[in-house]
Amino acid sequence: MIKQYTTESIQVLKGLEPVRRMPGMYTDTRRPNHLVQEVVDNCVDEALAGFASNIAISLNKDGSIYVRDDGRGLPVGIHIQHKVSGVELVLTTLHAGSKFDSEIYGISGGLHGVGVSVVNALSEWLEVEVRQDGYAHFQRYESGAPLKPLERGSKVLKSDTGTDIQFKPDPQFFDSISLDLEHLMHLLRAKAILCQGLTISLDYFDADEPKSQVWTYENGISGYLLEHLPTERVPDQPFLVNNQNGHNEAVEFAMSWTKDTDPLIESYVNLVPTTSGGTHVNGLRSGVTEALREFCDFRNLLPKGVKLTAEDVMKQCSFVLSAKLENPQFSGQTKERLSSHSATTHISGVAKDAFTLWLNQHTQDGEEIAQLAITCALKRMQSSKKIRRKTYSTGPTLPGKLADCASQSVTETELFLVEGDSAGGTAKQARDREFQAVLPLRGKILNTWEVDSTAILSSQTVADIAQSIGVEPGSEDISRLRYHKVCILADADSDGAHIATLLCALFLKHFPLLVEKGHIYIALPPLYRVDVGKEVFYVLDEIEKNALLARIARTNNKTDPVVQRFKGLGEMNPLQLRETTMSPETRKLMRLTVQEARLTHNTLDMLLAKKRSPDRRQWLEKRGDQAVLTRIEPQANGTIHEYSAP
C-alpha cells in the first residue's frame, strides 16, 4: 500500500549517506579506478602547488590500495565551526576542502570537493596517516565512519611531511572489485609527463609476482607524443606551445599530423584526463583551424569552392593538450569533460596566434599540413554528392522487416537492431510504437572490418541497416539520420556478444560519425531471472547472479531462490523484455564511445582481421581469460553508461 506523501515523508541524507545510497552519482561504479584517481589527484594538486615531488602507489594482495605523497599533509587541527579535525572533516563531509580558495591551491583537479570523502564512503575501511609538525597522526574509518578521533602518534623528522591513505574498496558498490591496471598505469604515466619534476611509482602484483614501475619525464608532452607517432609525420618535431597566463593559469600543447594512422588525441585539465574533451579542446580546434584557413587564403592554396572545416583540419592531427586553470568547471564528478566557457576563448586565441606565427616561419611544413586538410575536405564534398544520388531514407520503400515508429521527431526516436526473427517479434510487441522502431537481423552479420565502405552494401543485412537509419556507409553527412538512438539488442550470451561485436565494428569502421556524435548504444538484456518468494530479480550475467545469490543467502534463509536462464531474447515474453531492456524508465543502455582511436583500431584489427590470426591466437593464449562481458550494476532507472570501444 502506498503511503500518503506528507512532510514526514521527506528524508534528509546526511554525511556520506548520499554516496552509499547512490554511488553512481559520484563515481564510476564499474571498477574502483576512479577512487584511486581521486586520491592521486589530491597528491598531484600538492605537486602542482610546489609542495610535493614524489607519489607512491601500492596495489596490495588483499585488494587494498595505498597512496603516499610528500606534500604538506592534510590539516590536523580542530576546525572551529565543526569541532573535528581537518582530516576527519575532509574525509566525512561532501564539498569540504581547500580548493575553493585560490590562495591555498592556485590550480587543482579536485575542484568539486567530494573526492576523498567519496573514497571513504565506498570503502570497507580506510586508514589515514598525516606527517606534520614532527609527528605522525593516525585515524581509521570503517564504512565511512571514524572509529576514534584523529590521534597523534610517534615523532618523525620535521622535514618528513605528507599524507598516506590506504583503503579497501567495498565490493557491494562495484561491478568488479579488480582495477583496470592498464588504464591506471596510463593515467599515472600521463600525470608524470604533464607535471615536470614529479616522480610517480607503482607497486603491484602480476600473477602473484611483485612488479614495480616508475615514471619521471624530462621531455614533457612533446616527447610523449613522439613515442606514439610513426616516423612519417608533419612536422617531424611536434609543434609545441607553452603559454603562461598570469600566475595561476597556463596552456601547453604539442601537435603533429600523420597520413595513414589514426590520430592520438589526449586532453587534460590540471592533470585530470578529460576523455570526453570539452571547451579547452574546442578552443584548440577553433584556433588551429582559423590559423590554417588564413594561411591557405594568403597563399592561394584552396581549390575553387573548397572551404576548410575544423574536422578537415584536425582529422589527421595528433595532439596532447594540457590546460591549467584556476577554477575549472567539469560536467559531472568524474571530470571527463570540461565545461568552463572561458577556456574556449582563451585557448583559441593562444592557439591561433602561435600557429599563425609558426606556419609563416615553416611554410613547407605548413603547405603539407594544408594539403592534408584539403584532401579531407575534397573527400567530404565527394561523399556529400554521393549521398544526394543515393538517398536511402527517401527511396521508394524501407526494409520490409522494419517495424517503424509513429513519431516524426528525430530527437526522440529509437531504432533497435535485434538479433533474429523470433527476438524481433518479441521486441515489436515490447516496444513503444510511438517512438521505438525494430529491425530484426537474420543470423550473424558480415564481418565488415576489412571490407571497403563502397562494397559492404552487397550484404543485405548491412543494406537494410543503412537504409533504415538513412545514412550511407563512409559518409560524413548524417543530416538524414532517421533515429536519435540506434540500439544494438543481442542475446546476453557469448553468441550475442559476437553479434554485438560485429555490429560495433560495423559502426566504428563505416559509420564513425554516428559513434562520435553519440548515436550508437548497446542494450543490456538480462541473462537470468531469480525468483525469491514474490520478489523477482533480473541479472546480467553469471558473476552478478552469484553475487545476488550470496546476498540472498545472507539475508533470507526461509525461501529458496528459483533461477531461470534465458536461452535468448525470444524466450522472454514482451512484458519482461519491455521492463528489463526497452522501457526508458527501467532499462540500462551503454553508449558506444572511443577514448583512444588508435588503440581501438589496433585492437579491433587484431580481433577481426583475417591476416592477424597469429596475433589473435597469441592474444587468446595470453589474455583470453580477460575477455569478459562488461557488466553494469543496476543503479538509477534509465541510466545511460558510457562504453568505450576496446
Catalytic positions are: 419, 491, 493, 495
Neighbours of 3 (CB within 10 A): 7
Give the separation between CA 264 and CA 230, rounded to whole angstroms. 11
CA dist 594 and 516 (Å) reads 8
Cα–Cα dist 70/73, whole Å: 8
Phi, psi torsion values for 265, nearest 5 degrees: -130, 115
Within the chain, what is the greatest distance between any pair of CA atoms? Answer: 84
Closest CA to 524 of 645, 441, 426, 639: 639
DSSP letters, 82-149, are T-SBHHHHHHHSTT-SSTT-TTT-SS-S-TTS-HHHHHHHTEEEEEEEEEETTEEEEEEEETTEESS-
Residue type present at position 520 = I
Collapse the DSSP code of 343 into the 3-class scheme (helix H, G, I; strand E, B; otherwise coil) and give the result: helix
Neighbours of 415 (CB within 10 A): 26
From residue 415, give the alpha-carbon distance in Å to each of 410, 411, 486. 11, 12, 5
How far, in Å, CA of 601 to CA of 646, rounded? Answer: 8
> 158, 117 in Cβ contact below 8 A?
no
The cell for 218 is 624530462
Q: In angstroms, rounded to a whole number, what is the distance separating the alpha carbons of residues 582 and 638?
A: 10
**Alpha-carbon 550 to chain mean position:** 31
For residues 312 and 301, is the Cβ–Cβ distance under 8 A? Answer: no
Nearest by Cα to 437 from 500, 495, 474, 486: 486
Rounded Cα gap, residues 272 and 337, in angstroms:
10
What distances in angstroms separate CA 263 from CA 81, 151, 614, one per listed residue? 52, 52, 26
Rounded CA-CA distance 355/363 in Å is 12
Place of cell 599515472: 188
3-state secondary structure 504-533: HHHHHHHCHHHHHCCCEEEECCCCEEEEEC
Sheet holding 249-257, edge to edge: 234-245, 249-257, 317-324, 265-269, 272-273
Q: Would strands 234-245 and 249-257 be described as parallel, antiparallel, or unpaired?
A: antiparallel
